[in-house]
Structure 1
Amino acid sequence: MDANQNAGDGLRQVIGFILELDKLKGVTRKTRPLGLTRYENSAEHSWQIALLAASLAHLAPAPVDVDRVIRMLLVHDIGEIDTGDTLVYVEGGWKERKAAELAAVTRIFGMLPDAQGAAYLALWQEFERGESPEARFANAVDRAMPVLLNLANEGQSWRENGISHARVVGRIAAPILEGCPALWAYLEAKLEEARQKGWFGA
């Protein structure tokens, strides 16, 4: 097999992978984009948090490799192609959901040439473990984005899904505080304002 054939096979694998990722555009989340009546999709969410992370990286409590954070955020929800999205405030069943997502990303990254697939899978697993500075920061940004949208649209998904202030804080406070303390200080005050305005579910 010559180099050109190897390159052609690798190119076909990458294109197949990229076309598979198009399915992420059809995974509906529970928050509406600002000013729209439809719900956002997981591809939009991944793009938006990647830019949020790039814009807030200077606030990370420890120096982070911004490119690594962005790559991590771009791959972190790819498993939802097979599993669908789960509202972040759902309680229970997370072990089973994460096992299903691991199976999904193993399948999808397996479409790539071996080295590329392994690199993406390692990034996905790093995000899930949340142990590196990059993963902690990435998790903070991921948890923050739905909150920012809800704060901008008067608690739309909180009200629609009956999510209380206590439940939101209980789910997001620790990872955001750990990964980006300045972001949590901002959100904590905004969430209290939202509670006083009645933007949460019962």
Structure 2
Amino acid sequence: MQQEDLLKQIEFIKEIDKLKYIQRKTRLFASDRNENDAEHSWHLAMMAIILSQHANVPVDVLKVLKMVLIHDIVEIDAGDTFIYDTAKNHVNTDQERLAAERIFGMLPKSQCDELIAIWEEFEAGETDEAKFAKSMDRLEPLLQNVSNDGGTWKEFGVDYAKVYEKKQVIRNGSASIWNYAEQLIEDSVEKGILKKK
């Protein structure tokens, strides 16, 4: 049984290497190179460790780390959906559900069940850990776009109202980080890198 579990786990580890090839729309800080999903997940994990003291309530950091490290694994099959996409909603889809079942299903059942439950919890965004994890997920691209003089906001014609709407989720996990993020958004308007209609 242990050898069988190990072989399944190794196959899963090989499969998730594909996350490194999933390109995101956002670019690395002060760079013209697009970030990939693996880089994004790693960065969120580091942010969660460093910024956890700013969560609205104490959170289980290990659970938050699991969330941010696995939340985009489904994009191996489903692809990355740009948060400001006007044709496709940035919410859990049937395609992502099938991807979660296939990819996490490669693992032994107990690990599969745990990771699917953690992925579902992140997607629902209702627990303290999920709220904080989603705060990290929304903060990182904000910081990237500011560092790139508007980045994807300029490239895709995203306006202030849309950015504000999507980013205010940060408040649910951390009011203090939201205060910082909100000021960044306002400063971006003043600098002319984010347009109000």
| Both structures adopt the same fold (TM-score exceeding 0.5) | yes
2:53 aligned partner: 58
Q: Give the paired residue count.
A: 196
Q: Secondary structure, in 3 states, of the residue corresponding to 2:34?
A: coil
Q: Output one character per residue of 1:149-176: Cα deviation in whole Å (capped at 9) or x when no partner.
A: 1111111111111111111001121x11
Equivalent positions of 1:6-45 (< 5 A) are: 6-45=1-40
Give the Cα–Cα distance (whole angstroms) in 1 for the partners of residues 145 and 158 of structure 2. Answer: 11
Larger CA deviation: 97-106 vs 149-158: 97-106
Aligned-CA RMSD value: 1.5
Residue of structure 2 aligned with 1:178, choices 172, 192, 195: 172
TM-score, scaled relative to structure 1: 0.92
- Among 110, 118, 124, which residue is 2:119 paired with? 124
Q: How many Å separate the matches in 1 of 2:135 and 2:164?
A: 13
Instruction: Please list the CA deviations of residues 68-107 of structure 1 after superposition, one character each: whole Å capped at 9, or x if unmatched.
Output: 1001110100110011111112246438752211110110
1-structure distance, mates of 2:41, 2:28: 13
Judge which range, 30-39 or 46-55, deviates more: 30-39
Task: Flag as ranges the 4+ runs of structure 1 deviating above 4 A.
Answer: none
- In structure 2, relative to structure 1, the CA distance for the partners of 1:52 and 1:16 (3 Å cut) is same
Cα 1:130–1:96 shift into 2, 3 Å: closer
CA distance in 1 between partners of 2:166 and 2:87 (Å): 12
Q: Which amino acid aligns with 1:13?
A: K
2:192 to 188, 195, 198: 198
Which structure shows the higher strand fraction? 2
Counterparts in 2 of 1:103 and 1:144: CA distance versus 1, 3 Å: same
Deviates more, 1:40-49 or 1:189-198: 189-198
Larger Cα Rg: Structure 1 or Structure 2? 1
Aligned-partner Cα distance in 2 for 1:97–1:188: 26
State the partner residue of 1:142.
137
Cα distance in 2 between the residues matched to 1:30 and 1:176? 20
Matching of residue 157 in structure 1 with residue 152 in structure 2? yes
Q: What do the CA deviations read for 1:32-83 (whole angstroms, capped 9, x no partner)?
A: 1124332110110000011101111111111100001001110100110011
Q: Distance in 2 between matches of 1:32 and 1:91?
A: 20
Q: How much has 1:10 moved relative to structure 2? A: 0.8
Q: Distance in 1 between matches of 2:182 and 2:176?
A: 10
Aligned to 1:90: 85
In percent, how many aligned pairs have the same letter?
Answer: 42
SS in 2 for 1:18: helix
**Compared with structure 1, are the counterparts of its residues 95 and 29 closer, same or farther at alpha carbon in structure 2 (3 Å cutoff)?**
closer
Instruction: Quote the offset at 1:141 in angstroms.
Output: 0.9
Match of 2:101 in 1: 106
- Gap runs ≥5 in structure 1: 1-5
